[in-house]
Amino acid sequence: ILNHARKVGGADAGTIFLREENKLKFSYTQNSTLEKRLPPGEKLIYTSFEIPVDENSLAGYVALTGKSLNIPNTEKMDPTLPFRFNRKFDEAAGYWTHSLLTIPLQTTTGEVIGVLQLINCRNQEDECLYFSEETEKIMSVFAGMAAIALERARMTRLMILRTIRMAEMRDPKETGPHVNRVAGFALVLYEAWAHREGLGKKEADEQRDHLRIAAMLHDVGKVSIPDAVLKKPGKLNAQEYAVMQQHTISGARLFIDKASDFDKAAMDVALNHHERWDGQGYPGHVDLVTGLPLKGLTGPDGRPLTKSGADIPLFGRIAAIADVFDALSSRRCYKEPWGEDEVLTEMEKCKGAQFDPQLLDLFFAKLPAIRGIQKRYREEDADS
Ligand code: C2E
Ligand code: SIN
Ligand code: SIN
Ligand code: SIN
Ligand code: FE
Ligand code: FE
Protein backbone atom coordinates (compact mmCIF):
# COMPACT_ATOMS: atom_id res chain seq x y z
CA ILE A 1 0.00 0.00 0.00
CA LEU A 2 2.75 2.42 1.01
CA ASN A 3 4.87 1.60 -2.01
CA HIS A 4 2.00 2.16 -4.40
CA ALA A 5 0.91 5.40 -2.69
CA ARG A 6 4.46 6.78 -2.83
CA LYS A 7 4.80 5.93 -6.51
CA VAL A 8 1.49 7.52 -7.48
CA GLY A 9 2.08 10.60 -5.31
CA GLY A 10 5.76 10.99 -6.26
CA ALA A 11 6.84 10.89 -2.62
CA ASP A 12 10.44 10.33 -1.53
CA ALA A 13 9.33 8.85 1.78
CA GLY A 14 6.21 7.73 3.58
CA THR A 15 4.78 6.27 6.73
CA ILE A 16 1.69 4.29 7.69
CA PHE A 17 0.46 4.70 11.25
CA LEU A 18 -2.08 2.20 12.55
CA ARG A 19 -4.52 3.13 15.26
CA GLU A 20 -4.75 1.22 18.52
CA GLU A 21 -7.40 2.79 20.69
CA ASN A 22 -6.26 6.36 21.30
CA LYS A 23 -2.74 5.93 19.98
CA LEU A 24 -1.19 5.84 16.55
CA LYS A 25 1.55 3.27 16.10
CA PHE A 26 4.30 4.05 13.64
CA SER A 27 3.92 0.79 11.69
CA TYR A 28 5.53 0.93 8.24
CA THR A 29 8.02 3.35 6.82
CA GLN A 30 9.98 3.81 3.62
CA ASN A 31 12.54 6.45 2.67
CA SER A 32 14.34 6.35 -0.71
CA THR A 33 16.98 8.92 0.22
CA LEU A 34 17.96 7.19 3.46
CA GLU A 35 17.83 3.73 1.84
CA LYS A 36 20.29 4.86 -0.86
CA ARG A 37 22.81 5.79 1.83
CA LEU A 38 22.87 2.25 3.28
CA PRO A 39 25.31 -0.49 2.29
CA PRO A 40 23.61 -3.13 0.06
CA GLY A 41 21.52 -5.70 1.94
CA GLU A 42 21.08 -3.51 5.03
CA LYS A 43 17.65 -2.48 6.24
CA LEU A 44 16.57 0.86 7.69
CA ILE A 45 16.14 0.53 11.40
CA TYR A 46 13.39 2.57 12.98
CA THR A 47 12.52 2.37 16.60
CA SER A 48 8.78 1.99 16.73
CA PHE A 49 6.94 4.65 18.67
CA GLU A 50 3.43 5.87 19.35
CA ILE A 51 1.78 9.26 19.24
CA PRO A 52 -1.55 10.09 20.84
CA VAL A 53 -4.65 10.77 18.72
CA ASP A 54 -4.97 14.47 19.57
CA GLU A 55 -4.44 17.94 18.11
CA ASN A 56 -0.76 18.16 18.99
CA SER A 57 0.67 16.37 15.94
CA LEU A 58 -0.22 16.33 12.27
CA ALA A 59 -0.93 12.63 12.21
CA GLY A 60 -2.84 12.83 15.51
CA TYR A 61 -4.97 15.69 14.21
CA VAL A 62 -5.81 13.81 10.98
CA ALA A 63 -6.79 10.70 12.95
CA LEU A 64 -8.90 12.79 15.32
CA THR A 65 -10.76 14.83 12.70
CA GLY A 66 -10.79 12.44 9.72
CA LYS A 67 -9.64 15.36 7.53
CA SER A 68 -6.53 15.30 5.38
CA LEU A 69 -3.77 17.90 5.68
CA ASN A 70 -1.65 19.06 2.78
CA ILE A 71 1.39 21.04 4.02
CA PRO A 72 3.49 22.47 1.14
CA ASN A 73 6.33 23.55 3.42
CA THR A 74 6.81 22.47 7.02
CA GLU A 75 8.90 25.57 7.73
CA LYS A 76 6.07 27.94 6.82
CA MET A 77 3.06 26.45 8.58
CA ASP A 78 0.10 28.59 9.61
CA PRO A 79 0.85 29.51 13.25
CA THR A 80 -2.86 29.44 14.17
CA LEU A 81 -3.01 25.68 13.55
CA PRO A 82 -3.16 23.74 16.82
CA PHE A 83 -0.25 21.42 15.96
CA ARG A 84 3.43 21.95 15.22
CA PHE A 85 5.58 19.88 12.95
CA ASN A 86 7.73 17.76 15.20
CA ARG A 87 11.30 18.06 13.89
CA LYS A 88 12.66 15.50 16.34
CA PHE A 89 12.18 12.52 13.96
CA ASP A 90 13.94 14.36 11.12
CA GLU A 91 16.83 15.18 13.41
CA ALA A 92 17.16 11.58 14.58
CA ALA A 93 17.13 10.29 11.00
CA GLY A 94 19.32 12.98 9.41
CA TYR A 95 16.56 13.87 6.94
CA TRP A 96 14.66 17.06 6.15
CA THR A 97 10.89 17.04 5.61
CA HIS A 98 9.62 19.87 3.35
CA SER A 99 6.22 18.88 1.96
CA LEU A 100 3.84 16.57 3.76
CA LEU A 101 0.51 15.04 2.76
CA THR A 102 -1.32 13.35 5.62
CA ILE A 103 -4.47 11.35 4.83
CA PRO A 104 -6.80 9.41 7.14
CA LEU A 105 -7.26 5.68 6.49
CA GLN A 106 -10.99 5.63 6.89
CA THR A 107 -13.29 2.63 6.40
CA THR A 108 -16.74 2.86 4.81
CA THR A 109 -18.27 3.17 8.29
CA GLY A 110 -16.22 6.31 8.93
CA GLU A 111 -13.84 4.74 11.44
CA VAL A 112 -10.26 6.01 11.15
CA ILE A 113 -8.04 2.92 11.45
CA GLY A 114 -4.79 4.69 10.68
CA VAL A 115 -3.00 7.49 8.85
CA LEU A 116 -1.05 7.54 5.60
CA GLN A 117 1.69 10.15 5.44
CA LEU A 118 3.52 10.99 2.21
CA ILE A 119 6.74 12.96 2.66
CA ASN A 120 8.63 15.20 0.21
CA CYS A 121 7.06 15.32 -3.23
CA ARG A 122 9.77 14.96 -5.90
CA ASN A 123 9.61 15.13 -9.69
CA GLN A 124 11.72 13.11 -12.19
CA GLU A 125 14.57 15.62 -11.81
CA ASP A 126 14.52 15.10 -8.06
CA GLU A 127 13.37 18.69 -7.48
CA CYS A 128 11.49 19.37 -4.30
CA LEU A 129 7.81 20.14 -4.90
CA TYR A 130 4.61 20.09 -2.91
CA PHE A 131 1.73 17.62 -3.28
CA SER A 132 -0.93 18.92 -5.72
CA GLU A 133 -4.63 19.12 -5.01
CA GLU A 134 -5.11 16.39 -7.59
CA THR A 135 -2.69 14.07 -5.78
CA GLU A 136 -4.61 14.79 -2.58
CA LYS A 137 -7.88 13.73 -4.23
CA ILE A 138 -6.42 10.56 -5.74
CA MET A 139 -4.83 9.66 -2.41
CA SER A 140 -8.11 10.07 -0.55
CA VAL A 141 -9.78 7.51 -2.80
CA PHE A 142 -6.78 5.20 -2.58
CA ALA A 143 -6.68 5.54 1.22
CA GLY A 144 -10.31 4.42 1.41
CA MET A 145 -9.51 1.22 -0.45
CA ALA A 146 -6.35 0.69 1.58
CA ALA A 147 -8.31 1.07 4.81
CA ILE A 148 -10.68 -1.72 3.80
CA ALA A 149 -7.78 -4.02 2.90
CA LEU A 150 -5.99 -3.26 6.18
CA GLU A 151 -9.15 -3.81 8.18
CA ARG A 152 -9.64 -7.16 6.49
CA ALA A 153 -6.06 -8.23 7.21
CA ARG A 154 -6.48 -7.20 10.84
CA MET A 155 -9.68 -9.26 11.21
CA THR A 156 -8.01 -12.29 9.60
CA ARG A 157 -5.06 -12.02 11.96
CA LEU A 158 -7.37 -11.70 14.97
CA MET A 159 -9.33 -14.80 13.97
CA ILE A 160 -6.09 -16.77 13.60
CA LEU A 161 -4.91 -15.66 17.05
CA ARG A 162 -8.27 -16.73 18.49
CA THR A 163 -7.85 -20.15 16.87
CA ILE A 164 -4.48 -20.48 18.57
CA ARG A 165 -6.04 -19.52 21.93
CA MET A 166 -8.78 -22.08 21.40
CA ALA A 167 -6.19 -24.84 20.87
CA GLU A 168 -4.55 -23.70 24.09
CA MET A 169 -7.81 -24.15 26.04
CA ARG A 170 -8.10 -27.72 24.81
CA ASP A 171 -4.48 -28.55 25.59
CA PRO A 172 -3.02 -26.31 28.30
CA LYS A 173 0.48 -27.62 27.42
CA GLU A 174 0.08 -25.97 24.07
CA THR A 175 1.00 -22.70 25.74
CA GLY A 176 1.74 -19.29 24.31
CA PRO A 177 5.47 -19.66 25.07
CA HIS A 178 5.62 -23.08 23.34
CA VAL A 179 4.00 -21.91 20.10
CA ASN A 180 6.04 -18.72 20.13
CA ARG A 181 9.28 -20.66 20.56
CA VAL A 182 8.49 -23.10 17.75
CA ALA A 183 7.57 -20.16 15.49
CA GLY A 184 10.74 -18.28 16.50
CA PHE A 185 13.04 -21.25 15.81
CA ALA A 186 11.30 -21.84 12.47
CA LEU A 187 11.88 -18.21 11.42
CA VAL A 188 15.56 -18.34 12.31
CA LEU A 189 15.91 -21.47 10.18
CA TYR A 190 13.92 -20.03 7.29
CA GLU A 191 15.93 -16.81 7.25
CA ALA A 192 19.21 -18.72 7.25
CA TRP A 193 17.90 -20.89 4.41
CA ALA A 194 16.61 -17.91 2.39
CA HIS A 195 19.95 -16.13 2.82
CA ARG A 196 21.87 -19.20 1.65
CA GLU A 197 19.56 -19.60 -1.37
CA GLY A 198 19.89 -15.90 -2.24
CA LEU A 199 16.12 -15.44 -2.15
CA GLY A 200 14.76 -11.94 -2.94
CA LYS A 201 13.83 -9.83 0.06
CA LYS A 202 10.20 -9.34 -0.95
CA GLU A 203 9.46 -13.04 -1.35
CA ALA A 204 11.43 -13.97 1.76
CA ASP A 205 9.58 -11.40 3.90
CA GLU A 206 6.19 -12.53 2.65
CA GLN A 207 6.89 -16.22 3.19
CA ARG A 208 8.41 -15.43 6.56
CA ASP A 209 5.19 -13.77 7.76
CA HIS A 210 3.16 -16.79 6.66
CA LEU A 211 5.56 -19.26 8.27
CA ARG A 212 5.43 -17.44 11.61
CA ILE A 213 1.68 -17.95 11.98
CA ALA A 214 1.71 -21.38 10.31
CA ALA A 215 4.35 -22.63 12.77
CA MET A 216 2.27 -21.35 15.68
CA LEU A 217 -0.54 -23.56 14.37
CA HIS A 218 1.59 -26.69 13.78
CA ASP A 219 -0.26 -28.77 16.41
CA VAL A 220 -3.71 -27.17 16.10
CA GLY A 221 -5.06 -30.59 15.00
CA LYS A 222 -4.51 -31.81 18.59
CA VAL A 223 -7.92 -30.27 19.40
CA SER A 224 -9.42 -33.40 17.77
CA ILE A 225 -7.49 -35.87 19.98
CA PRO A 226 -9.40 -37.34 22.98
CA ASP A 227 -8.14 -36.40 26.46
CA ALA A 228 -7.29 -40.00 27.34
CA VAL A 229 -4.64 -39.92 24.64
CA LEU A 230 -3.68 -36.22 24.60
CA LYS A 231 -3.15 -36.01 28.37
CA LYS A 232 -1.95 -39.53 29.14
CA PRO A 233 0.78 -39.19 31.78
CA GLY A 234 2.80 -42.20 30.55
CA LYS A 235 3.86 -43.78 27.31
CA LEU A 236 1.30 -44.21 24.52
CA ASN A 237 0.60 -47.74 23.26
CA ALA A 238 0.57 -48.46 19.52
CA GLN A 239 -3.15 -47.86 19.16
CA GLU A 240 -3.07 -44.60 21.10
CA TYR A 241 -0.10 -43.42 19.08
CA ALA A 242 -2.03 -44.12 15.86
CA VAL A 243 -4.84 -41.90 17.19
CA MET A 244 -2.33 -39.19 18.12
CA GLN A 245 -0.81 -39.24 14.64
CA GLN A 246 -4.17 -38.10 13.24
CA HIS A 247 -3.43 -34.58 14.53
CA THR A 248 -1.40 -33.89 11.40
CA ILE A 249 -4.34 -34.70 9.12
CA SER A 250 -7.03 -32.97 11.16
CA GLY A 251 -4.83 -29.86 11.46
CA ALA A 252 -4.23 -29.77 7.70
CA ARG A 253 -7.95 -30.21 7.04
CA LEU A 254 -8.61 -26.78 8.58
CA PHE A 255 -6.80 -25.20 5.63
CA ILE A 256 -8.15 -27.51 2.93
CA ASP A 257 -9.82 -24.67 1.00
CA LYS A 258 -6.38 -23.04 0.46
CA ALA A 259 -8.01 -19.64 0.16
CA SER A 260 -4.67 -17.81 0.41
CA ASP A 261 -0.90 -18.32 0.32
CA PHE A 262 -1.05 -18.34 4.09
CA ASP A 263 -3.46 -21.32 4.04
CA LYS A 264 -1.02 -23.21 1.86
CA ALA A 265 1.80 -22.53 4.34
CA ALA A 266 -0.35 -23.54 7.32
CA MET A 267 -1.39 -26.76 5.60
CA ASP A 268 2.22 -27.63 4.69
CA VAL A 269 3.30 -27.23 8.31
CA ALA A 270 0.37 -29.01 9.98
CA LEU A 271 0.48 -31.96 7.59
CA ASN A 272 4.24 -32.44 7.28
CA HIS A 273 5.84 -31.54 10.62
CA HIS A 274 6.16 -35.23 11.60
CA GLU A 275 7.51 -36.45 8.27
CA ARG A 276 11.11 -37.66 8.41
CA TRP A 277 13.94 -37.17 5.93
CA ASP A 278 14.47 -40.96 5.75
CA GLY A 279 10.81 -41.64 4.92
CA GLN A 280 9.96 -43.16 8.34
CA GLY A 281 7.63 -40.34 9.37
CA TYR A 282 3.87 -39.86 9.10
CA PRO A 283 1.22 -39.42 7.69
CA GLY A 284 2.68 -39.81 4.15
CA HIS A 285 0.65 -39.28 0.98
CA VAL A 286 -2.91 -39.21 2.34
CA ASP A 287 -6.22 -37.86 1.12
CA LEU A 288 -7.08 -35.14 3.64
CA VAL A 289 -10.83 -35.75 3.49
CA THR A 290 -10.81 -39.50 4.12
CA GLY A 291 -7.38 -39.87 5.80
CA LEU A 292 -6.82 -42.85 3.46
CA PRO A 293 -3.92 -43.27 1.00
CA LEU A 294 -4.04 -40.89 -1.97
CA LYS A 295 -5.14 -42.59 -5.20
CA GLY A 296 -2.23 -44.37 -6.84
CA LEU A 297 0.02 -43.75 -3.82
CA THR A 298 -0.70 -46.88 -1.80
CA GLY A 299 2.23 -49.03 -0.72
CA PRO A 300 2.30 -52.87 -0.95
CA ASP A 301 1.12 -53.07 2.69
CA GLY A 302 -2.01 -51.03 1.88
CA ARG A 303 -0.65 -48.04 3.82
CA PRO A 304 0.00 -44.63 2.25
CA LEU A 305 3.31 -44.20 0.41
CA THR A 306 5.73 -42.33 2.64
CA LYS A 307 7.33 -38.95 1.95
CA SER A 308 11.09 -38.56 2.18
CA GLY A 309 13.83 -36.01 1.45
CA ALA A 310 12.83 -33.05 -0.66
CA ASP A 311 9.32 -34.58 -1.27
CA ILE A 312 8.57 -33.11 2.13
CA PRO A 313 7.69 -29.43 1.74
CA LEU A 314 10.37 -27.07 3.10
CA PHE A 315 8.08 -25.64 5.78
CA GLY A 316 7.42 -29.18 7.06
CA ARG A 317 11.16 -29.94 7.28
CA ILE A 318 11.78 -26.65 9.09
CA ALA A 319 8.90 -27.13 11.55
CA ALA A 320 10.09 -30.69 12.34
CA ILE A 321 13.46 -29.41 13.60
CA ALA A 322 11.88 -26.51 15.51
CA ASP A 323 9.21 -28.73 17.12
CA VAL A 324 11.50 -31.56 18.21
CA PHE A 325 14.12 -29.18 19.62
CA ASP A 326 11.39 -27.62 21.76
CA ALA A 327 9.78 -30.96 22.70
CA LEU A 328 13.11 -32.34 23.94
CA SER A 329 14.00 -29.14 25.81
CA SER A 330 10.61 -28.88 27.55
CA ARG A 331 8.62 -30.76 30.14
CA ARG A 332 5.85 -32.91 28.64
CA CYS A 333 3.15 -34.97 30.33
CA TYR A 334 5.24 -38.01 29.31
CA LYS A 335 8.81 -36.74 29.88
CA GLU A 336 11.10 -34.41 31.84
CA PRO A 337 13.01 -31.60 30.09
CA TRP A 338 16.47 -32.52 28.80
CA GLY A 339 19.61 -30.41 29.13
CA GLU A 340 20.91 -28.63 26.04
CA ASP A 341 23.89 -30.96 25.54
CA GLU A 342 21.63 -34.01 25.56
CA VAL A 343 19.18 -32.35 23.17
CA LEU A 344 21.88 -31.39 20.68
CA THR A 345 23.53 -34.83 20.84
CA GLU A 346 20.17 -36.49 20.12
CA MET A 347 19.45 -34.14 17.22
CA GLU A 348 22.91 -34.62 15.70
CA LYS A 349 22.31 -38.39 15.92
CA CYS A 350 19.10 -37.95 13.91
CA LYS A 351 20.77 -35.92 11.12
CA GLY A 352 19.84 -37.37 7.74
CA ALA A 353 17.42 -39.79 9.43
CA GLN A 354 14.72 -37.68 11.14
CA PHE A 355 16.04 -34.32 9.87
CA ASP A 356 17.10 -32.67 6.64
CA PRO A 357 20.91 -32.68 7.13
CA GLN A 358 21.51 -29.27 5.51
CA LEU A 359 18.78 -27.58 7.53
CA LEU A 360 20.13 -29.18 10.70
CA ASP A 361 23.58 -27.68 9.94
CA LEU A 362 21.95 -24.26 9.57
CA PHE A 363 20.16 -24.83 12.89
CA PHE A 364 23.44 -25.57 14.68
CA ALA A 365 25.07 -22.54 13.03
CA LYS A 366 22.27 -20.35 14.43
CA LEU A 367 22.31 -21.62 18.02
CA PRO A 368 22.95 -18.20 19.58
CA ALA A 369 19.73 -16.87 18.00
CA ILE A 370 17.88 -20.04 19.03
CA ARG A 371 18.99 -19.59 22.66
CA GLY A 372 17.83 -15.97 22.51
CA ILE A 373 14.33 -17.13 21.57
CA GLN A 374 14.31 -19.71 24.38
CA LYS A 375 15.19 -16.99 26.83
CA ARG A 376 12.55 -14.62 25.48
CA TYR A 377 9.70 -17.15 25.76
CA ARG A 378 10.31 -18.98 29.00
CA GLU A 379 7.62 -21.27 30.42
CA GLU A 380 7.44 -19.40 33.79
CA ASP A 381 6.11 -16.38 31.93
CA ALA A 382 3.13 -18.39 30.67
CA ASP A 383 0.66 -17.05 33.23
CA SER A 384 1.74 -13.44 33.20
P1 C2E B 1 5.50 -33.46 21.28
O2 C2E B 1 5.61 -33.81 22.71
O3 C2E B 1 5.49 -31.99 20.95
O4 C2E B 1 6.70 -34.13 20.50
C5 C2E B 1 7.03 -33.71 19.21
C6 C2E B 1 8.01 -34.63 18.58
O7 C2E B 1 9.26 -34.60 19.28
C8 C2E B 1 7.66 -36.11 18.60
O9 C2E B 1 6.70 -36.46 17.63
C10 C2E B 1 9.00 -36.72 18.24
O11 C2E B 1 9.26 -36.64 16.85
C12 C2E B 1 9.98 -35.79 18.92
N13 C2E B 1 10.54 -36.47 20.08
C14 C2E B 1 10.01 -36.61 21.33
N15 C2E B 1 10.86 -37.34 22.08
C16 C2E B 1 11.92 -37.65 21.30
C17 C2E B 1 13.16 -38.35 21.51
O18 C2E B 1 13.43 -38.88 22.60
N19 C2E B 1 14.03 -38.43 20.45
C20 C2E B 1 13.75 -37.87 19.24
N21 C2E B 1 14.63 -37.95 18.22
N22 C2E B 1 12.61 -37.20 19.00
C23 C2E B 1 11.72 -37.08 20.02
P24 C2E B 1 5.84 -37.80 17.85
O25 C2E B 1 6.65 -38.88 18.45
O26 C2E B 1 5.18 -38.11 16.55
O27 C2E B 1 4.73 -37.36 18.88
C28 C2E B 1 3.74 -36.40 18.56
C29 C2E B 1 3.03 -36.00 19.79
O30 C2E B 1 2.43 -37.15 20.37
C31 C2E B 1 3.92 -35.44 20.88
O32 C2E B 1 4.19 -34.10 20.66
C33 C2E B 1 3.08 -35.71 22.11
O34 C2E B 1 2.05 -34.74 22.23
C35 C2E B 1 2.46 -37.04 21.78
N36 C2E B 1 3.24 -38.16 22.32
C37 C2E B 1 4.26 -38.83 21.74
N38 C2E B 1 4.70 -39.82 22.53
C39 C2E B 1 3.96 -39.77 23.67
C40 C2E B 1 3.92 -40.54 24.89
O41 C2E B 1 4.68 -41.48 25.09
N42 C2E B 1 3.00 -40.18 25.83
C43 C2E B 1 2.14 -39.13 25.64
N44 C2E B 1 1.27 -38.86 26.60
N45 C2E B 1 2.14 -38.41 24.49
C46 C2E B 1 3.03 -38.72 23.53
C1 SIN C 1 3.41 14.29 12.90
O2 SIN C 1 2.61 13.85 12.07
O3 SIN C 1 3.35 15.44 13.34
C4 SIN C 1 4.47 13.42 13.46
C5 SIN C 1 5.02 12.46 12.46
C6 SIN C 1 6.07 13.05 11.58
O7 SIN C 1 6.75 13.98 11.99
O8 SIN C 1 6.25 12.56 10.47
C1 SIN D 1 -3.29 -13.44 6.14
O2 SIN D 1 -3.58 -14.37 5.39
O3 SIN D 1 -3.12 -12.29 5.73
C4 SIN D 1 -3.18 -13.67 7.62
C5 SIN D 1 -2.04 -14.57 7.95
C6 SIN D 1 -0.77 -13.86 8.10
O7 SIN D 1 -0.66 -12.97 8.94
O8 SIN D 1 0.19 -14.19 7.38
C1 SIN E 1 3.16 -29.89 21.95
O2 SIN E 1 4.20 -30.06 21.52
O3 SIN E 1 2.78 -29.37 21.05
C4 SIN E 1 2.26 -30.15 23.14
C5 SIN E 1 2.91 -30.82 24.26
C6 SIN E 1 2.09 -31.84 24.95
O7 SIN E 1 0.87 -31.76 24.98
O8 SIN E 1 2.68 -32.79 25.51
FE1 FE F 1 2.77 -32.41 16.18
FE1 FE G 1 4.42 -29.47 18.97
| pLDDT, tens digit, 9 for 90 and up, residues 353-370 | 999 999 999 999 999 999
CA 60–ligand 3 middle distance (angstroms): 28
Give pLDDT, residue 170.
85
Give pLDDT, residue 230.
93
Give pLDDT, residue 384.
35
Q: Whose CA is nearest to atom 3 of ligand 1?
A: 327
Give pLDDT, residue 177.
85
How many residues are given for the chain?
Answer: 384
Q: Whose CA is nearest to atom 4 of ligand 4?
A: 174
Highest mean pLDDT out of 18-32, 289-303, 343-357: 343-357
Give pLDDT, residue 383.
42
What are the residues facing 51 on neighbouring strands?
A: 24
In the DSSP assignment, the letter for residue 337 is P
Number of Cβ atoms within 10 Å of the Cβ of 166: 11
Give pLDDT, residue 71.
96
The predicted model gives 169-187 an average pLDDT of 86
Ligand closest in space to the Cα of 156? 3
Give pLDDT, residue 46.
66
| Environment of ion ligand 5 (residues, CB < 5 A) | 219
Helices 314-329 and 261-272, packing angle to 10 deg: 50
The predicted model gives 72-95 an average pLDDT of 90
Which of 20-24, 227-231, 294-298 is least confident?
A: 294-298
| 320 neighbors 350 (Cβ within 8 angstroms) | no
Residue 168 has pLDDT above 80, yes or no: yes
Give pLDDT, residue 15.
94
Long-range contacts of 47-51 (CB under 8 A, 24+ apart): 49/25, 50/20, 50/23, 50/24, 50/25, 50/26, 51/17, 51/23, 51/24, 51/26
Whether the upstream peptide bond of residue 283 has omega within 30° of 0, thus cis, is yes
| Angle, vertex CA 17, rays to CA 150 and CA 35, nearest 5 | 105
Residue 290 has pLDDT above 60, yes or no: yes
Among 30, 51, 95, residue to substitute to test ligand 2 (most atoms within 8 Å of Cβ): 51
Give pLDDT, residue 202.
78
Residue 282 has pLDDT above 50, yes or no: yes
86 lines ligand 2 (CB under 6 A): yes
Give the separation between CA 275 and CA 316, rounded to whole angstroms.
7
The predicted model gives 161-185 an average pLDDT of 85
Which of 5-19, 143-157, 171-185 is least confident?
A: 171-185
Ligand 4 atom closest to the Cα of residue 230 is 7
Give pLDDT, residue 28.
85
Which of 104-118, 174-188, 277-291, 315-329 is least confident?
A: 174-188
Give the separation between CA 101 and CA 111, rounded to whole angstroms.
20
Give pLDDT, residue 299.
86
**Averaged pLDDT of the chain:** 91
Nearest in space to 373 (alpha carbons), one of 213, 195, 204, 179: 179
Ligand 4 atom closest to the Cα of residue 218 is 3
What are the residues facing 335 on neighbouring strands?
A: 332
Residue type at position 143: A
User: pLDDT class for 41, splitting at 50, 70, 90?
Assistant: low
Which of 9-13, 205-209, 313-317 is least confident?
A: 205-209
Return all residues near 197 (Cβ < 8 A) that are at least 6 apart. none
The predicted model gives 36-59 an average pLDDT of 82
The predicted model gives 59-71 an average pLDDT of 96
Known catalytic residues are: 222
Among 232, 246, 334, residue to substitute to test ligand 1 (most atoms within 8 Å of Cβ): 334
* 209-227 CB burial, b ≥16 within 10 A, e <16: ebbbbbbbbbbbbbbbbee
The predicted model gives 131-158 an average pLDDT of 91
